[in-house]
Amino acid sequence: MSSTRVAAVRGTASAAAVTGTVAGAALGIGWHYSSVLIDPRSRSGFPERVLSTTDGSVALARSRLCAQPGVWGLRWDSGPGRDGGLAVLGPVLEQGRGRVVREHLGGPRPPVGPAVIDAGPFDPDPAARGPAFAEVVIDTPLGPAPAWDVPPARGREFGATWAIHVHGRGGSRREALRVLPALHDLGLHQLVISYRNDGTAPDGPDGRSHLGDTEWEDLDAAVGHALERGAEEIVLVGWSMGAAVSGAFLDRSPRAAHVAAVVWDAPLLDWRATLRRQAANRYLPPPLAGVASRLTTRRIGIDFDRFDLARRPPAVRPPTMVVHSDADSAVPVSVSRGFVAAAPGLGWPVRYLEVAGVEHTGSWNADPQVYEDAVTGFLRDTLGAG
Protein backbone atom coordinates (compact mmCIF):
# COMPACT_ATOMS: atom_id res chain seq x y z
CA MET A 1 0.00 0.00 0.00
CA SER A 2 1.38 3.40 -0.96
CA SER A 3 2.22 5.96 1.69
CA THR A 4 -0.51 8.22 0.29
CA ARG A 5 -3.18 5.56 0.73
CA VAL A 6 -1.91 4.72 4.22
CA ALA A 7 -2.16 8.38 5.19
CA ALA A 8 -5.68 8.59 3.76
CA VAL A 9 -6.80 5.50 5.67
CA ARG A 10 -5.27 6.85 8.86
CA GLY A 11 -6.95 10.21 8.30
CA THR A 12 -10.32 8.57 7.75
CA ALA A 13 -9.91 6.46 10.87
CA SER A 14 -8.88 9.49 12.85
CA ALA A 15 -11.88 11.49 11.63
CA ALA A 16 -14.19 8.60 12.46
CA ALA A 17 -12.71 8.38 15.93
CA VAL A 18 -13.21 12.10 16.48
CA THR A 19 -16.79 11.88 15.19
CA GLY A 20 -17.45 8.92 17.45
CA THR A 21 -15.98 10.76 20.41
CA VAL A 22 -18.11 13.85 19.74
CA ALA A 23 -21.24 11.73 19.29
CA GLY A 24 -20.48 9.84 22.48
CA ALA A 25 -19.96 13.08 24.37
CA ALA A 26 -23.25 14.48 23.03
CA LEU A 27 -25.09 11.35 24.12
CA GLY A 28 -23.44 11.48 27.53
CA ILE A 29 -24.36 15.12 28.07
CA GLY A 30 -27.86 14.53 26.71
CA TRP A 31 -28.30 11.56 29.05
CA HIS A 32 -27.18 13.62 32.04
CA TYR A 33 -29.51 16.50 31.12
CA SER A 34 -32.38 14.03 30.64
CA SER A 35 -31.61 12.48 34.04
CA VAL A 36 -31.76 15.88 35.73
CA LEU A 37 -35.06 16.58 33.98
CA ILE A 38 -36.84 13.42 35.13
CA ASP A 39 -35.39 13.41 38.64
CA PRO A 40 -38.20 14.85 40.79
CA ARG A 41 -35.94 15.84 43.68
CA SER A 42 -35.23 19.56 44.11
CA ARG A 43 -31.66 20.74 44.65
CA SER A 44 -31.95 24.45 45.25
CA GLY A 45 -29.06 24.77 47.70
CA PHE A 46 -28.30 28.00 49.55
CA PRO A 47 -26.55 30.28 47.04
CA GLU A 48 -27.21 33.62 48.79
CA ARG A 49 -25.52 34.98 51.89
CA VAL A 50 -26.89 36.98 54.81
CA LEU A 51 -24.29 39.60 55.79
CA SER A 52 -26.02 41.19 58.77
CA THR A 53 -29.43 41.85 60.32
CA THR A 54 -31.17 44.47 62.42
CA ASP A 55 -34.61 44.47 64.02
CA GLY A 56 -36.17 45.70 60.78
CA SER A 57 -33.81 44.81 57.95
CA VAL A 58 -31.62 42.12 56.43
CA ALA A 59 -28.44 42.79 54.45
CA LEU A 60 -27.51 40.22 51.82
CA ALA A 61 -24.62 39.80 49.42
CA ARG A 62 -25.81 41.42 46.22
CA SER A 63 -27.19 39.16 43.50
CA ARG A 64 -29.84 39.37 40.82
CA LEU A 65 -32.28 37.33 42.91
CA CYS A 66 -31.69 39.30 46.10
CA ALA A 67 -32.41 42.56 44.29
CA GLN A 68 -35.78 41.56 42.83
CA PRO A 69 -38.68 43.87 43.67
CA GLY A 70 -41.49 42.86 45.99
CA VAL A 71 -42.07 40.40 48.83
CA TRP A 72 -39.97 37.23 49.15
CA GLY A 73 -39.14 34.45 51.53
CA LEU A 74 -35.60 33.93 52.79
CA ARG A 75 -34.87 30.37 53.84
CA TRP A 76 -31.80 29.04 55.62
CA ASP A 77 -30.74 25.55 56.59
CA SER A 78 -29.85 24.23 59.99
CA GLY A 79 -26.17 24.01 60.82
CA PRO A 80 -23.75 24.33 63.72
CA GLY A 81 -25.33 26.78 66.14
CA ARG A 82 -28.29 27.62 63.85
CA ASP A 83 -31.81 26.31 63.30
CA GLY A 84 -33.39 26.29 59.87
CA GLY A 85 -36.08 28.88 59.25
CA LEU A 86 -38.04 31.12 56.92
CA ALA A 87 -38.34 34.90 57.08
CA VAL A 88 -40.42 37.29 54.99
CA LEU A 89 -38.47 40.01 53.22
CA GLY A 90 -40.07 43.18 51.89
CA PRO A 91 -38.93 45.90 49.51
CA VAL A 92 -35.31 46.80 48.85
CA LEU A 93 -34.29 49.63 51.17
CA GLU A 94 -30.85 50.24 49.71
CA GLN A 95 -28.25 48.55 47.55
CA GLY A 96 -24.69 49.09 46.50
CA ARG A 97 -21.12 48.10 47.35
CA GLY A 98 -21.89 44.41 46.88
CA ARG A 99 -24.92 44.26 49.15
CA VAL A 100 -28.71 44.58 49.15
CA VAL A 101 -30.66 45.65 52.23
CA ARG A 102 -34.31 44.56 52.41
CA GLU A 103 -37.05 45.18 54.93
CA HIS A 104 -37.67 42.30 57.35
CA LEU A 105 -41.46 41.90 57.43
CA GLY A 106 -41.91 38.75 59.49
CA GLY A 107 -40.60 35.45 60.71
CA PRO A 108 -37.46 34.81 62.72
CA ARG A 109 -34.37 36.95 62.40
CA PRO A 110 -32.09 35.28 59.85
CA PRO A 111 -28.62 34.26 61.03
CA VAL A 112 -25.52 35.38 59.16
CA GLY A 113 -24.56 32.74 56.63
CA PRO A 114 -25.90 30.89 53.58
CA ALA A 115 -29.55 31.28 52.57
CA VAL A 116 -31.83 31.08 49.54
CA ILE A 117 -34.46 33.43 48.17
CA ASP A 118 -37.81 31.60 48.22
CA ALA A 119 -40.84 32.60 46.15
CA GLY A 120 -42.98 31.05 48.89
CA PRO A 121 -42.74 33.34 51.93
CA PHE A 122 -45.24 31.36 54.01
CA ASP A 123 -44.91 28.09 55.91
CA PRO A 124 -46.04 25.40 56.55
CA ASP A 125 -49.78 25.25 55.69
CA PRO A 126 -52.90 27.44 55.26
CA ALA A 127 -52.91 28.26 58.98
CA ALA A 128 -49.97 30.56 58.23
CA ARG A 129 -52.35 32.64 56.09
CA GLY A 130 -55.45 32.54 58.31
CA PRO A 131 -58.14 30.39 56.63
CA ALA A 132 -59.34 27.27 58.40
CA PHE A 133 -58.45 24.04 56.64
CA ALA A 134 -58.47 20.26 57.01
CA GLU A 135 -55.90 17.67 56.01
CA VAL A 136 -57.62 15.25 53.65
CA VAL A 137 -56.53 12.34 51.50
CA ILE A 138 -57.15 11.94 47.77
CA ASP A 139 -57.48 8.37 46.55
CA THR A 140 -55.17 8.48 43.50
CA PRO A 141 -54.36 5.57 41.18
CA LEU A 142 -51.14 5.06 43.15
CA GLY A 143 -52.65 5.33 46.62
CA PRO A 144 -53.58 8.03 49.15
CA ALA A 145 -52.14 11.50 48.49
CA PRO A 146 -52.45 14.32 51.05
CA ALA A 147 -54.26 17.56 50.27
CA TRP A 148 -55.45 20.67 52.08
CA ASP A 149 -59.19 21.29 51.99
CA VAL A 150 -59.93 24.99 52.55
CA PRO A 151 -63.66 25.85 52.80
CA PRO A 152 -64.79 29.22 51.40
CA ALA A 153 -65.31 32.27 53.55
CA ARG A 154 -68.79 32.10 55.01
CA GLY A 155 -71.45 33.83 52.97
CA ARG A 156 -69.29 34.33 49.90
CA GLU A 157 -70.55 33.90 46.38
CA PHE A 158 -68.88 30.90 44.72
CA GLY A 159 -69.07 28.18 47.39
CA ALA A 160 -70.06 25.47 44.90
CA THR A 161 -66.98 26.23 42.81
CA TRP A 162 -63.77 24.52 43.87
CA ALA A 163 -60.31 25.79 42.98
CA ILE A 164 -57.75 22.99 42.73
CA HIS A 165 -54.12 24.08 43.05
CA VAL A 166 -51.38 22.17 41.18
CA HIS A 167 -47.77 22.97 42.10
CA GLY A 168 -44.81 22.86 39.76
CA ARG A 169 -41.96 20.40 39.27
CA GLY A 170 -39.81 20.26 42.39
CA GLY A 171 -42.38 22.37 44.22
CA SER A 172 -44.88 21.62 46.95
CA ARG A 173 -48.28 22.63 48.24
CA ARG A 174 -46.68 25.70 49.85
CA GLU A 175 -46.78 27.31 46.41
CA ALA A 176 -50.51 27.95 46.78
CA LEU A 177 -50.23 29.81 50.09
CA ARG A 178 -49.55 33.11 48.34
CA VAL A 179 -52.83 33.41 46.45
CA LEU A 180 -54.97 31.20 48.72
CA PRO A 181 -56.39 34.01 50.96
CA ALA A 182 -57.54 36.03 47.94
CA LEU A 183 -59.44 33.06 46.51
CA HIS A 184 -60.81 32.29 49.99
CA ASP A 185 -62.19 35.82 50.27
CA LEU A 186 -63.64 35.51 46.77
CA GLY A 187 -65.67 32.56 48.01
CA LEU A 188 -64.03 29.56 46.35
CA HIS A 189 -63.72 26.21 48.08
CA GLN A 190 -60.05 25.24 47.62
CA LEU A 191 -58.19 21.95 47.37
CA VAL A 192 -54.38 22.12 47.40
CA ILE A 193 -53.13 18.79 46.12
CA SER A 194 -49.96 16.74 46.01
CA TYR A 195 -49.09 14.39 43.16
CA ARG A 196 -46.79 11.47 42.48
CA ASN A 197 -43.09 11.83 43.25
CA ASP A 198 -43.39 15.23 44.96
CA GLY A 199 -42.19 13.90 48.33
CA THR A 200 -45.62 13.66 49.97
CA ALA A 201 -47.80 11.76 47.48
CA PRO A 202 -46.95 8.15 46.57
CA ASP A 203 -43.99 7.61 44.27
CA GLY A 204 -44.61 6.47 40.73
CA PRO A 205 -43.55 2.95 39.70
CA ASP A 206 -40.21 4.15 38.33
CA GLY A 207 -39.68 7.06 40.75
CA ARG A 208 -39.25 9.47 37.83
CA SER A 209 -41.04 12.66 36.95
CA HIS A 210 -43.12 12.12 33.82
CA LEU A 211 -43.41 15.87 33.23
CA GLY A 212 -47.22 15.91 33.32
CA ASP A 213 -47.75 12.82 31.16
CA THR A 214 -48.90 10.65 34.10
CA GLU A 215 -49.22 13.22 36.89
CA TRP A 216 -52.50 14.44 35.41
CA GLU A 217 -54.11 11.21 36.67
CA ASP A 218 -53.64 12.43 40.24
CA LEU A 219 -55.29 15.74 39.36
CA ASP A 220 -58.11 13.76 37.79
CA ALA A 221 -58.58 11.93 41.09
CA ALA A 222 -58.66 15.28 42.94
CA VAL A 223 -61.35 16.63 40.60
CA GLY A 224 -63.36 13.47 41.23
CA HIS A 225 -62.93 13.99 44.97
CA ALA A 226 -64.29 17.54 44.68
CA LEU A 227 -67.25 16.52 42.50
CA GLU A 228 -68.21 13.77 44.93
CA ARG A 229 -68.31 16.37 47.71
CA GLY A 230 -70.63 18.80 46.03
CA ALA A 231 -68.49 20.81 43.62
CA GLU A 232 -70.51 22.01 40.65
CA GLU A 233 -67.61 23.50 38.71
CA ILE A 234 -63.83 23.54 38.95
CA VAL A 235 -61.14 26.20 38.64
CA LEU A 236 -57.64 24.89 37.95
CA VAL A 237 -54.74 26.94 39.34
CA GLY A 238 -51.30 25.79 38.21
CA TRP A 239 -47.71 26.96 38.50
CA SER A 240 -45.01 26.09 35.97
CA MET A 241 -45.29 22.31 35.29
CA GLY A 242 -48.68 22.51 36.99
CA ALA A 243 -49.86 23.93 33.65
CA ALA A 244 -48.51 20.89 31.80
CA VAL A 245 -50.29 18.63 34.30
CA SER A 246 -53.58 20.50 34.00
CA GLY A 247 -53.22 20.82 30.22
CA ALA A 248 -52.93 17.04 29.96
CA PHE A 249 -55.99 16.73 32.22
CA LEU A 250 -57.98 19.09 29.96
CA ASP A 251 -57.05 16.96 26.96
CA ARG A 252 -57.50 13.47 28.39
CA SER A 253 -59.99 13.43 31.26
CA PRO A 254 -63.75 13.03 30.84
CA ARG A 255 -64.04 15.23 33.96
CA ALA A 256 -62.47 18.18 32.10
CA ALA A 257 -65.96 19.35 31.08
CA HIS A 258 -66.46 20.48 34.70
CA VAL A 259 -63.64 23.05 34.49
CA ALA A 260 -65.04 26.58 34.32
CA ALA A 261 -61.77 28.53 34.42
CA VAL A 262 -58.00 28.12 34.53
CA VAL A 263 -55.29 30.30 36.10
CA TRP A 264 -51.70 29.56 35.00
CA ASP A 265 -48.65 31.23 36.53
CA ALA A 266 -45.38 31.00 34.55
CA PRO A 267 -46.97 28.11 32.66
CA LEU A 268 -45.02 25.37 30.97
CA LEU A 269 -46.88 25.38 27.65
CA ASP A 270 -44.16 23.91 25.42
CA TRP A 271 -41.68 21.42 26.87
CA ARG A 272 -39.27 21.60 23.92
CA ALA A 273 -38.97 25.39 24.10
CA THR A 274 -38.41 25.13 27.85
CA LEU A 275 -35.68 22.51 27.36
CA ARG A 276 -33.94 24.77 24.84
CA ARG A 277 -34.02 27.66 27.32
CA GLN A 278 -32.69 25.55 30.16
CA ALA A 279 -29.97 24.09 27.94
CA ALA A 280 -28.89 27.63 27.12
CA ASN A 281 -28.85 28.41 30.85
CA ARG A 282 -26.31 25.58 31.19
CA TYR A 283 -24.30 26.89 28.20
CA LEU A 284 -25.12 23.77 26.19
CA PRO A 285 -25.35 23.94 22.37
CA PRO A 286 -28.99 23.99 21.20
CA PRO A 287 -28.79 20.56 19.46
CA LEU A 288 -28.12 18.94 22.84
CA ALA A 289 -31.61 19.94 23.98
CA GLY A 290 -32.93 17.84 21.10
CA VAL A 291 -30.73 14.92 22.10
CA ALA A 292 -31.99 15.19 25.68
CA SER A 293 -35.64 15.34 24.57
CA ARG A 294 -35.28 12.25 22.40
CA LEU A 295 -33.58 10.35 25.22
CA THR A 296 -36.28 11.48 27.63
CA THR A 297 -38.96 10.19 25.27
CA ARG A 298 -37.24 6.81 25.19
CA ARG A 299 -36.88 6.71 28.98
CA ILE A 300 -40.37 7.76 30.13
CA GLY A 301 -42.48 7.44 26.97
CA ILE A 302 -43.58 11.08 26.79
CA ASP A 303 -44.74 12.54 23.48
CA PHE A 304 -43.50 16.13 23.61
CA ASP A 305 -45.78 17.10 20.72
CA ARG A 306 -48.73 16.74 23.09
CA PHE A 307 -47.14 19.34 25.37
CA ASP A 308 -47.03 22.17 22.84
CA LEU A 309 -50.39 23.68 23.71
CA ALA A 310 -50.41 26.39 21.06
CA ARG A 311 -50.03 23.78 18.31
CA ARG A 312 -51.83 20.88 20.02
CA PRO A 313 -54.46 22.53 22.22
CA PRO A 314 -56.39 20.31 24.62
CA ALA A 315 -59.88 19.08 23.84
CA VAL A 316 -61.40 21.35 26.52
CA ARG A 317 -60.36 25.04 26.53
CA PRO A 318 -61.99 26.98 29.35
CA PRO A 319 -61.43 30.71 29.87
CA THR A 320 -57.84 31.01 31.02
CA MET A 321 -55.74 33.63 32.80
CA VAL A 322 -52.00 33.51 32.06
CA VAL A 323 -49.53 35.38 34.26
CA HIS A 324 -45.84 35.47 33.40
CA SER A 325 -42.80 37.56 34.27
CA ASP A 326 -40.52 39.00 31.62
CA ALA A 327 -37.35 38.03 33.54
CA ASP A 328 -38.21 34.32 33.85
CA SER A 329 -35.04 32.35 33.09
CA ALA A 330 -36.61 28.89 33.58
CA VAL A 331 -39.71 28.95 31.35
CA PRO A 332 -39.47 31.45 28.48
CA VAL A 333 -42.04 34.24 28.54
CA SER A 334 -41.95 34.21 24.72
CA VAL A 335 -43.94 30.95 24.79
CA SER A 336 -46.72 32.54 26.85
CA ARG A 337 -46.76 35.53 24.50
CA GLY A 338 -47.02 33.25 21.49
CA PHE A 339 -49.74 31.20 23.16
CA VAL A 340 -51.79 34.31 23.98
CA ALA A 341 -51.44 35.51 20.38
CA ALA A 342 -52.54 32.12 19.03
CA ALA A 343 -55.42 31.64 21.48
CA PRO A 344 -58.19 33.44 19.52
CA GLY A 345 -57.56 31.18 16.54
CA LEU A 346 -57.83 28.15 18.82
CA GLY A 347 -61.21 29.22 20.18
CA TRP A 348 -59.58 29.64 23.56
CA PRO A 349 -60.53 32.74 25.62
CA VAL A 350 -57.32 33.93 27.29
CA ARG A 351 -56.50 36.95 29.46
CA TYR A 352 -52.85 37.89 30.01
CA LEU A 353 -50.87 39.73 32.67
CA GLU A 354 -47.13 40.25 32.22
CA VAL A 355 -45.04 41.32 35.20
CA ALA A 356 -41.64 43.00 35.05
CA GLY A 357 -38.35 42.16 36.68
CA VAL A 358 -38.89 38.93 38.66
CA GLU A 359 -37.89 35.31 38.28
CA HIS A 360 -39.86 32.14 37.62
CA THR A 361 -43.27 32.06 39.41
CA GLY A 362 -42.43 35.36 41.09
CA SER A 363 -45.27 37.46 39.67
CA TRP A 364 -47.27 37.45 42.91
CA ASN A 365 -44.13 38.43 44.82
CA ALA A 366 -43.53 41.48 42.62
CA ASP A 367 -46.83 43.10 43.64
CA PRO A 368 -49.31 40.91 45.52
CA GLN A 369 -52.18 43.38 45.22
CA VAL A 370 -51.88 43.78 41.45
CA TYR A 371 -51.64 40.02 41.02
CA GLU A 372 -54.59 39.21 43.26
CA ASP A 373 -56.78 41.92 41.74
CA ALA A 374 -56.06 40.58 38.25
CA VAL A 375 -56.75 36.95 39.16
CA THR A 376 -59.87 37.56 41.25
CA GLY A 377 -61.20 40.03 38.67
CA PHE A 378 -60.79 37.40 35.95
CA LEU A 379 -62.52 34.75 38.06
CA ARG A 380 -65.34 37.06 39.07
CA ASP A 381 -65.93 38.00 35.42
CA THR A 382 -65.74 34.40 34.24
CA LEU A 383 -67.71 32.66 36.97
CA GLY A 384 -70.24 35.48 37.18
CA ALA A 385 -70.90 35.15 33.48
CA GLY A 386 -71.86 31.50 34.02
Whether residues 211 and 106 fall in one domain: no
Last residue of a domain, one of 60, 89, 118: 118
Residue 25 lies in a domain: no
Name the domain boundary from 69, 90, 118: 118
Please check whether residues 378 and 239 belong to one and the same domain: yes
> What mean pLDDT is predicted for residues 36-57?
90
132 domain residue, yes or no: yes
Task: Report the DSSP beta bridge partners of residue 234.
Answer: 162, 259
- What is the pLDDT at residue 284? 81
Same domain, 350 and 261: yes
Residue 7 in any domain: the answer is no
Please check whether residue 306 is in contact with residue 216, taking contact to mean a CB–CB distance below 8 angstroms.
no
Instruction: Give the confidence band of 82 by pLDDT, cuts at 50, 70, 90.
Output: confident
- pLDDT value at 155 more than 80: no
At 16, the pLDDT band (50, 70, 90 cuts) reads very low
Q: Are residues 193 and 65 in the same domain?
A: no
- Residues 93, 192 within the same domain: no
| Whether residues 91 and 154 fall in one domain | no
pLDDT at 294 exceeding the cut of 80: yes
If asked whether residues 346 and 256 sit together in one domain, one would say yes
pLDDT at residue 15 above 50? Answer: no
Specify if 83 maps to a domain.
yes
Mean pLDDT of the chain: 92
Specify if 35 maps to a domain. Answer: no
Residue 178 predicted with pLDDT over 70: yes
Residue 20 has pLDDT above 80, yes or no: no
Position 9 pLDDT exceeds 70: no
Domain boundary pick from 101, 118, 135: 118
Judge if 112 and 137 occupy the same domain. no
pTM metric for this prediction: 0.92
> Is the confidence at residue 156, as pLDDT, over 80?
no
Give the rounded percent of residues in the chain with a pLDDT score beyond 70.
93
Structural domain includes residue 23: no
Residue 83 shares a structural domain with residue 206? no
Kindly report the backbone phi and psi dihedral angles of residue 96, in degrees, each rounded to the nearest multiple of 5, phi listed first: 145, 165
**Residue 172's CATH number:** 3.40.50.1820
How many domains does the chain fold into? 2
Q: Is residue 39 part of a domain?
A: no
Does 169 lie in the same domain as 106?
Answer: no
- Return the minimum-mean-pLDDT range out of 37-41, 338-342, 354-358: 37-41
Instruction: Quote the pLDDT of residue 386.
Output: 41
pLDDT (mean) for 278-307: 91
What pLDDT does 2 receive?
A: 60
Residue 156 lies in a domain: yes
Nearest to 231 by CA among 189, 171, 172: 189
Of the two residues 135 and 83, the one the predictor is more confident about is 135
Mind listing the pLDDT tens digit for each residue in 89-114? Answer: 999 999 998 999 999 999 999 999 99
User: Would the pLDDT of 35 be above 70?
Assistant: yes
Q: Is 80 exceeded by the pLDDT of residue 19? A: no
pLDDT for residue 186 is more than 80:
yes
- What tens digit of pLDDT does each residue of 233-279 get? 999 999 999 999 999 999 999 999 999 999 999 999 999 999 999 88
13 has a pLDDT exceeding 50: no
Report the DSSP beta bridge partners of residue 95.
Answer: 100
Range of the domain at 83: 48-118
pLDDT score of 12: 52
- Of residues 157 and 107, which shows the higher confidence score? 107
CATH of the domain at 66: 2.40.30
Indicate whether 369 pLDDT > 50: yes
Q: Are residues 113 and 135 in the same domain?
A: no
Same structural domain for residues 233 and 168?
yes
Percentage of residues of the chain with pLDDT beyond 90:
82
pLDDT beyond 90 at 3? no
